[in-house]
Amino acid sequence: MKQLIYGHDPQIAEWTKNTFGVHPGKYEMAVGIIEDGQLVGSVMWHAWRIHDIEISYFGPRTMTLGIARECARVAIDHFGVSRVTARAAWTNKTMTRGVKKIGFEYEGIVHNGCGVDKDAVMYGLYGKNLARLAGKGLH
């Protein structure tokens, strides 16, 4: 069973960098995804803007509904936001399908959002959809 672990932000950020070749940059929180005692993925929370925070998810085949629900609860309970923004490379069809399944809505293209000539697709999860995923009523 996969679960999230907290409190090891620098180690999780370093693992993410080494495993996925992506420098996490400035982040608000790094959460690990553990399965069978092994780190198999991470969730990086960054770009917190009072009511919105961005989420980056690393870990092929690690997303479960339980993890998505816990991430939604972190967004509301820890950061106090009403919106979560996710970006993915437009070529990452697994991610773009997955975020839509849990309630994110397509919002547009971010040109060069994944590097030079590498566009990203942006999605938002907010309001009642965020609250529903977190298992909460609207504030």
pLDDT tens-digit profile of 20-76? Answer: 998 878 999 999 999 999 999 999 999 999 999 999 999 988 989 999 999 999 999
pLDDT tens-digit profile of 89-119? Answer: 888 888 888 899 999 999 999 999 888 999 9
Domain ranges of the chain: 3-134
pLDDT of residue 25: 85
Instruction: Supply the DSSP string of 54-72, one letter for each residue.
Output: EEEEE-TT---HHHHHHHH
pLDDT of residue 3: 93
Tell whether the model's pLDDT for residue 139 goes beyond 70: no
Both tokens of residue 115? 């590097």
Measure CA of the first residue to CA of the last residue in the chain; give whole Å.
Answer: 31
pLDDT of residue 90: 87
pLDDT of residue 22: 87
The mean pLDDT value for 114-134 works out to 94
Q: Which CATH code for domain 3-134?
A: 3.40.630.30
Per-residue burial over 18-31, b = 16 or more CB atoms within 10 Å of its CB, e = otherwise: eeeeeebeebebbb
pLDDT of residue 83: 98
Beta carbons of 105 and 125 less than 8 angstroms apart: yes
Distance CA 38, CA 100 (A): 28
